[in-house]
Structure 1
């Protein structure tokens, strides 16, 4: 569950045992409830691959079961051999406990009511409902059946399986809130859904790092091999794995995506925005919005520098999606690049004999400039999303 090689390798090596903090889950869910107080009311929520003893997703929804008005909470966890190293008391204390099945079978936990009669519905009322036939893989028929029963799917899937997990949700036409890597914005399996507003980014800002609880083995590895502040941070004496590019992907609405981005005119940006002026002077030798060599659009290096009075197509960073208001902007289109790869960062290459007008104004991913498509003075640009202002008639 990581966007860099160190955290990514460790995640694979440590069986994906990275746990989202309760506070991060709470902050995200509160944004949906603030926008629509009944968003979870009467709903069945599925938390795939979430052990109720160790997962904060299960803890959060169990603790807030009554407040949110949930109908049912379903959690599944992997078999011990598939990565779940510790046993929950829910399983151990259940008459359904089987030592052999614990090692090879996934587990099913449910919460529907106040089973212990203490007057509240909470974590103590979670029931171990038995073993799955398989190891708990979300792609199994039995977990698919649970998916089909659910109204909303919420979890933190392994980033390496993000494309497949998203497709698994979308094929069932379910509501969802899932964690992913910011770079997933650029995937051909993801961006079309962002472009047509089938899904969007969640409430959490892309400028905020996320820190995850990690295994003891990985904590030790971080301390021995990494510098604090890069791959980890010590918070209240606990070593936490750091992930700067984590973000939520969802189709549950929230107020942030309807906030209008306040912008200035092109002339004012070029005259008064010091960061923009420095960037343009350094990279292009003059203080003006550059035009792509082979695409009819201007380059906007920072989201806050989108000119309010420009009616043409603009190439903006992928972090723009954090501020994207579908009522204010339109993503022009979407298509895959000629090389079949995801977006790449800047690299120099020999200028080709092409001008702005020598090719049609199309890209291989409409809505996204990548690889050789977005050259300025013969130099490849960073990955860009192409947008245009929506103007009221």
Structure 2
């Protein structure tokens, strides 16, 4: 049901999914654990994030000094139905006139060069950011000339100035968005549908280790705020929180993290056939083979045999556990006849990634 709803949202170009602060914090924490200086001296660009409503802006501005950022750039998209309403950046400060300080329909650009405790209360928080922006001290808050589309000339100029892009881009424009990142040779950490792995424009990047999956959402569940939450069915819309839950959403990145290099613990082929927890494998005499490619079918990632040296077809969810030090990706989905991989009994398993153990 969740997969169907996400697909429908994509087709309808309903791209209003807002990421939780805790998910951003946990994900970025994985990169900092692997390399504490990954953001130090860098310009971070969040180019699909209204500063008023984005938890990406909130995270980076509150951790500006801790991360050692050189600059934070954030731009918004004008047609957002909740523009300037979620974060309440200025609304909590009674000294700032709301009617003048919160543009309602313009796309905005925030550039943060410096953060400090401006009101003298002993701590730095969003109120200090609001005061600095209002006073225009070392930072910039201005409307964009256009609507904030990431493909616009003014947004591309900001992209050129950046080192790392971090955001939740429109699902419906994911191919185009990723292409732009590679066209301008940017480091990135973005959210997208797991199904994007199957796109002909995306899989080659993963195969060539130019792009990979991030650390991931807790228990594989991604929760988002959306103004259209109630339009989703039971199991997706969570009335107790007002959030929607998707299981086939993941982080994509070209920043390294530790989990990417953790070896996947495996049993031998003989052990799998005897002790596997999967009834489809336990008790069989051998793994199934494809009719149109020289490889075995492995329906579950944890059933990959540790001692098989040939090619194996695994589910795309394997990529969440993919360790480039342990495996090589051979190809995707198709057999020698350029048709979907087909078992001896004529059935075609859903989209398989063909892999082999890396030669030592």
Report the TM-score when normalising by structure 1: 0.79
Partner of 1:112: 113
1:125 aligns with 2:125: no
Paired residues, what number?
A: 343
Taking the TM superposition and a 5 Å limit, the aligned residue runs for 1:1-393 are: 4-9=3-8, 16-79=15-78, 81-86=79-84, 102-103=104-105, 105-114=106-115, 116=118, 118=120, 122-123=125-126, 124-125=128-129, 127=133, 129-204=141-216, 207-215=219-227, 218-222=228-232, 226-227=233-234, 230-234=235-239, 237-275=240-278, 278-280=279-281, 286-333=284-331, 362=336, 364=338, 372-392=340-360
8 Å CA contact 1:96, 1:130 repeated in 2: no
**Shift of residue 170 of structure 1?**
0.8
8 Å CA contact 1:206, 1:322 repeated in 2: no
Q: Which whole-Å deviations, capped at 9, do the CAs of 1:278-302 have from their partners, x for residues lacking one? A: 2148xxx954201101110000111
Q: Which whole-Å deviations, capped at 9, do the CAs of 1:349-387 have from their partners, x for residues lacking one? A: xxxxxxxxxxxx7364xxxxxx53333311112211011
- Cα distance in structure 1, aligned partners of 2:298 and 2:311: 10
**Shift of residue 54 of structure 1?**
1.4
**Shift of residue 44 of structure 1?**
0.6
8 Å CA contact 2:108, 2:142 repeated in 1: yes
8 Å CA contact 1:78, 1:84 repeated in 2: no
Q: Secondary structure at the match of 1:321?
A: helix
Q: Secondary structure at the match of 2:190?
A: strand
**Shift of residue 274 of structure 1?**
3.4
Q: Secondary structure at the match of 1:373?
A: coil
- Cα distance in structure 1, aligned partners of 2:294 and 2:159: 44
* Alpha carbons of structure 1 residues 288 and 12: separation in structure 2 relative to 1, 3 Å: closer
* Alpha carbons of structure 1 residues 3 and 138: separation in structure 2 relative to 1, 3 Å: farther
* Alpha carbons of structure 1 residues 384 and 208: separation in structure 2 relative to 1, 3 Å: same
Q: Secondary structure at the match of 2:317?
A: helix
Q: Which whole-Å deviations, capped at 9, do the CAs of 1:173-220 have from their partners, x for residues lacking one? A: 0000000011111111111111111111000158511111122xx344
* Alpha carbons of structure 1 residues 212 and 289: separation in structure 2 relative to 1, 3 Å: same
Q: Tell me the C-alpha RMSD between the 2 structures.
A: 2.8
* Alpha carbons of structure 1 residues 291 and 9: separation in structure 2 relative to 1, 3 Å: closer
- Cα distance in structure 1, aligned partners of 2:292 and 2:39: 47
**Shift of residue 17 of structure 1?**
2.8
Q: Which whole-Å deviations, capped at 9, do the CAs of 1:33-79 have from their partners, x for residues lacking one? A: 00000000111100012112211111111111111111111110122
Partner of 2:137: none
**Shift of residue 9 of structure 1?**
4.3
**Shift of residue 306 of structure 1?**
0.7
Question: Unpaired segments of 5 or more residues in structure 1?
Answer: 338-360, 365-370
